[in-house]
């Protein structure tokens, strides 16, 4: 039987997440051009890496989930996860799966902006 150690699994997970960067760069430029218009390529990459790390802290690991988290960062600010109580409610809800959390974040952000935002 094949046995994969935690360190090996972490290494594979990190390598997979690095494949997210080009996809998320494209997403940022296509879906949110105004949010990144004045940012350098390096600044965008740093934001994406920060997003991947922060999303992972909340159990959001697949590309879709990280993309939704990034969308919220672009709409609400990079500290949206600590600044809005409704976000913490979603992220800490153990009854929601990770993809349900990602969907709820986007829905919540859209609702937040439809009501006037900050």
pLDDT bin (cut points 50, 70, 90) of residue 16 is: low
Tell me the per-residue pLDDT of 66-117, one tens digit each, with 9 for 90 and over: 999 999 999 999 999 999 999 999 999 999 999 999 999 999 999 988 887 7
Question: CA quadruple 105, 106, 110, 113: dihedral positive or negative?
Answer: positive
| DSSP secondary structure string for all residues of 46-96 | HHHHHHHHHHHHTT--SHHHHHHHHHHHHHH-TTHHHH-HHHHHHHT-TTS
CB 101 within 8 A of CB 59: yes
Domain boundaries, the chain: 6-114
């Amino acid at each position: 039987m094949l046995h994969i150690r935690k360190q090996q699994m972490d290494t594979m997970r990190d390598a997979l997440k690095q494949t997210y960067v080009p996809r998320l760069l494209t997403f940022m430029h296509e879906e949110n051009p105004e949010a990144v218009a004045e940012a350098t390529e390096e600044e965008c990459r740093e934001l994406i890496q920060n997003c991947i790390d922060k999303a992972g802290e909340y159990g959001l690991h697949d590309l879709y989930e990280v993309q939704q988290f990034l969308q919220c960062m672009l709409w609400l600010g990079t500290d949206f996860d600590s600044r809005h109580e409704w976000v913490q409610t979603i992220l800490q809800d153990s009854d929601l799966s990770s993809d349900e959390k990602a969907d709820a974040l986007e829905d919540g952000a859209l609702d937040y902006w439809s009501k006037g935002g900050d």
